[in-house]
Structure 1
Amino acid sequence: MKISKETVVEKKGYRLHILPSKKYKTISIVAKLKAPMKREGITERALLPSVLQKATQQLPNVRTLQSALENLYGTGFSSDGSKKGENHVLSFRMEVVNEVYLKNQEPILENALQIFSDVLFDPKVENGAFDESIVAREKQTLEQKIKSIKDDKMSYANMRLIDHMCKDEPYALHVHGYLEDFEQITAQSLYEYYQAMINRDLLDVYISGDVDQTEIEKLADQYFTREFSENADDHKHSELTGSIEAKEIVEEDDVNQGKLHIGYRTNIKFGDPDYYALQVFNGIYGGFPSSKLFMNVREKHSLAYYAASRFESHKGLLLVFSGVDPKDYDQAKSIILEQMKAMESGDFTDDQVEDSKEQVINQLQETMDNANGLIEVLYHQTLSGKDIPAEELIENIRNVKKEDVIKVAEKIQLDTIYFLTSQEGGE
């Protein structure tokens, strides 16, 4: 599989990634602002994407901003915040029609970049504060989002697992923020946080589509250049050292179905030599419908409503999720732990290794077939400092052998068993 070659250029205050491709009739622009996860300011940071995309100085309300985007042939714009390892990443995405496909040759891309730049660098501000009505509305929306996590018991159990597993590590911080912070956040304090963020965060800008590199560089410089004062100490990460003592936690709540979630430390991160074998391992263990967890916990013993696993590439975690009847807790837990032992002892076939490799590769190709998916894959590389061409990623997965998967299983350490159960039930 051949994908467009990424050109990375260090610029004043940002890093530009150009991905020329004739495959799409649109141009995708993605800006990523990265800072370390910190408790202080985390709720302000969670609020910012939605506040920024509501109004700029030139387009001072939701209606005028939306109308300007609509006038650019329905240009789409979205933003969100996410946790990548111990980084808090804010993403701003725009998809704009490529003007080469239009008869009248308007400067669509430049106009779109102007709006994009204004959202990031020139938001609506009055007397040193954001628009109070916008901030109040977005606080309300975020508050509802945080409260709704408690209602989605699977998400809630996962959050509680991480709370216990990564206690005292930045990774345990909640990416959507904390309800107790809302009272002290004002339109002015949020703007002060924004000013510090926009001057200190690492900024990566990705532009993908049928574009001319020289022209794109010129436009990007015009709209993304900024004064930047990075603090290098900000970008260090905690490392867990020493042996792990596995813990088991049972919590009660009003649930119809028990949530048994288990956290392991993989001791493997994106870019490590064992990373490709970890992807194959996860496919066999719990990543696909043909996996050991699905077949043994759900199909064979009918103990779980769902049973699956996924791994976190930048923190080195493997997380198992299952929904079980509280009375089946001990049996389900035993079977899940047995599947890990089976992986360590090589109790899987070469055919399973080959099937998992094919599924991992298909998933990767599907992701990279889409401009935003490709940008996410490339941003993983930026975060890890490892630049690996797409062809090499796929080749490395193809080269995984059964013994590589066993080696990965031997590295994985059980950290936390977490069970969320109904109030009258339990172990």
Structure 2
Amino acid sequence: MELVPGIAVHFIQSKKFKTNKITVRFTAPLSLELISSRMINASILETANQIYPSAQLLKKRLAGLYGADLSSQAYRRGQSHLVDVSLTYVRDEFLSKKNVLTSQILELLNQILFSPLANAGEFEQNMFEIEQKQLIARLESELEDPFFFAHKELDQLYFQEPAMQLVPKDLISRISKETPKSSFSSFQKMLKEDKVDIFFLGDFNEIEIREHLEKYSLTARQQVVKIQYHQPYSNILNESFLRKNLGQSILEMGYHSSIGYGDEGQLAMLLVNGLLGAFPHSKLFTEVREKEALAYTVSSHLDLFSGRLRLFAGIDRKNRNKVRKLMNEQLVAIKKGEFSDIEIHQTKKMIKRSLLLSKDNQDSIIDREYLSQFFGKLGLDIHTLIEKLEQVEKDEICEVAGSLRLQAIYFMEGLE
């Protein structure tokens, strides 16, 4: 249901959960110029506002709403940047007072979005500085994780678009340069220009909800967003090497895929990833770690929104070339069809289990509803996906595996 152009309301009626969940999702094109301020804004939204001008007062209000939970997050999906603001609270059915809590939650949501703790066109200085410092500290802490650091270095090597590289040190520098005024200006831009989706998962009176939303200061906008990121394959193999004082070395390899989310070969590519390194029975685990004992940890990760398959392993530095060759050989084996029907069945079973578990996760349900705008509801229906998954045959797996080509290699040598 469209509230006004550019703002959609989604009702997912269900009594499956004891809680209702309301999520407001802002979507805008990925931009290096705005991502830092949007990350700060996400933190500020769940901290305080004009009505509850401190974190303590806001928490007290949430406690008074039968322990409602407020959360926010900022993240990338393909070539878009998303900011979520979510409120989760007990359904009326489990309360002594009926038909009151949702109204109070919507009033609080209105205050969070349209009465921010700001004055004269900028966020309150002290609150802003606290959130800014905490965000920088979190990112610096993540950079201390060698695998996180290596993943981001591979991003820089693999992606051609600067906004997709998201170099952490550059991001930290950008966040440190933000001011209460620049972030508030970005927040106003987000409110006025972003594509907005408001999700209601649970038990709701749709007429009453719409009446509440019409009181929100939401205006029409024309925002075109693209979730899927595509980049052409390059014949140039990008490689990088770094020495760090670590107990182990990390090898990362990025493979280019022409198959994206919603494409015909999507499920076959999920099976490639499952056979290769996503599960304990996968080839990387059984061959590289168990049989050859060449890796402390080894896995693969498929991002269908950016068209990349990432292989990574924690190893001894002396085994770099041996592991690199062996990991690539496991992918080549899948391309050649060197896997059994038992392996296919086991991999399908694991993916099916993951799909069925997502039916019991509120965030996953909301996310499917969001993605259905781009890929259609039928293509995201769990039972339809499982049916199609069961129909994928060996030659299809080999075919999509054959489309994967090595694009980037990163090696972090640990100095023991």
TM-score range, shorter chain: over 0.9
* Alignment equivalent of 1:305, drawn from 296, 316, 328: 296
Hey, what does 1:37 align to over in structure 2? Answer: 30
Letter in 2 for 1:287: A
Hey, what does 1:403 align to over in structure 2? Answer: 395
What is the distance in 2 between the residues matched to 1:176 and 1:231?
30
Paired residues of 2:75 and 2:81 also in contact (CA < 8 A)? yes
Structure 2 residue 400 is the aligned partner of structure 1 residue 412: no
Normalised by the length of structure 2, the TM-score is 0.94
Bigger shift: residues 67-76 or 254-263: 254-263
* Alignment equivalent of 2:3, drawn from 5, 11, 14: 11
What is the distance in 2 between the residues matched to 1:135 and 1:294?
45
| CA shift for structure 1 position 176 | 9.4
Structure 2 residue 118 is the aligned partner of structure 1 residue 125: yes
Letter in 2 for 1:391: H
* Alignment equivalent of 2:277, drawn from 286, 302, 318: 286
What is the distance in 1 between the residues matched to 2:50 and 2:374?
32
Any residues of structure 2 matched to 1:360-371 within 5 Å, and which?
360-371=351-362
Secondary structure, counterpart of 1:303 in structure 2 = coil
Hey, what does 2:47 align to over in structure 1? Answer: 54
| CA shift for structure 1 position 423 | 4.7
Paired-residue identity, %: 27
Bigger shift: residues 187-196 or 236-245: 236-245
| CA shift for structure 1 position 293 | 0.6
Residues 162-219 of structure 1 deviation map (CA, whole Å, 9 limit, x = unaligned): 0111143432125897222244321112111111121111111111112233333333
Hey, what does 1:421 align to over in structure 2? Answer: 413
Hey, what does 2:174 align to over in structure 1? Answer: 181
Residues 207-261 of structure 1 deviation map (CA, whole Å, 9 limit, x = unaligned): 11122333333334444x61133344x6597642354332332111222110111
| CA shift for structure 1 position 267 | 1.1
Secondary structure, counterpart of 1:346 in structure 2 = coil
Paired residues of 1:55 and 1:65 also in contact (CA < 8 A)? yes
* Alignment equivalent of 1:266, drawn from 248, 257, 272: 257
Hey, what does 2:132 align to over in structure 1? Answer: 139
Paired residues of 1:259 and 1:323 also in contact (CA < 8 A)? yes
| CA shift for structure 1 position 121 | 2.5
Letter in 2 for 1:65: L
Relative to 1, partners in 2 of residues 1:199 and 1:37: Cα closer, same or farther, differing over 3 Å?
Answer: same
Hey, what does 1:110 align to over in structure 2? Answer: 103
What is the distance in 1 between the residues matched to 2:305 and 2:325?
28
What is the distance in 2 between the residues matched to 1:300 and 1:61?
56
What is the distance in 2 between the residues matched to 1:35 and 1:318?
25
Hey, what does 1:5 align to over in structure 2? Answer: none
Hey, what does 1:393 align to over in structure 2? Answer: 385
Residues 26-81 of structure 1 deviation map (CA, whole Å, 9 limit, x = unaligned): 10111111111111122111111111211122222212211111100000011111
Paired residues of 1:130 and 1:188 also in contact (CA < 8 A)? yes
What is the distance in 1 between the residues matched to 2:175 and 2:400?
43
Secondary structure, counterpart of 1:11 in structure 2 = strand
Letter in 1 for 2:387: E
Secondary structure, counterpart of 2:296 in structure 1 = strand
What is the distance in 2 between the residues matched to 1:360 and 1:182?
38
Paired residues of 2:68 and 2:88 also in contact (CA < 8 A)? yes
Bigger shift: residues 350-359 or 113-122: 113-122
Secondary structure, counterpart of 2:311 in structure 1 = strand
Structure 2 residue 85 is the aligned partner of structure 1 residue 79: no
Relative to 1, partners in 2 of residues 1:84 and 1:125: Cα closer, same or farther, differing over 3 Å?
Answer: same
Hey, what does 1:217 align to over in structure 2? Answer: 210
| CA shift for structure 1 position 144 | 0.8
Secondary structure, counterpart of 2:33 in structure 1 = coil
Letter in 2 for 1:296: E
Hey, what does 2:145 align to over in structure 1? Answer: 152
Hey, what does 1:226 align to over in structure 2? Answer: 218
Paired residues of 1:69 and 1:112 also in contact (CA < 8 A)? no
Structure 2: which 5+ runs fail to align?
none
Paired residues of 1:38 and 1:173 also in contact (CA < 8 A)? no
What is the distance in 2 between the residues matched to 1:176 and 1:77?
29
- How many residue pairs get aligned? The number is 414
* Alignment equivalent of 2:195, drawn from 185, 198, 202: 202
Bigger shift: residues 27-36 or 338-347: 27-36
| CA shift for structure 1 position 386 | 6.4
Residues 289-345 of structure 1 deviation map (CA, whole Å, 9 limit, x = unaligned): 100011111101111111111111211111112100101111110110000100100
What is the distance in 1 between the residues matched to 2:95 and 2:407?
56
What is the distance in 2 between the residues matched to 1:269 and 1:386?
17
Normalised by the length of structure 1, the TM-score is 0.92
What is the distance in 2 between the residues matched to 1:415 and 1:344?
17
Hey, what does 2:89 align to over in structure 1? Answer: 96
What is the distance in 2 between the residues matched to 1:320 and 1:405?
18
Hey, what does 2:321 align to over in structure 1? Answer: 330
Hey, what does 2:63 align to over in structure 1? Answer: 70
| CA shift for structure 1 position 112 | 0.8
Letter in 1 for 2:292: H
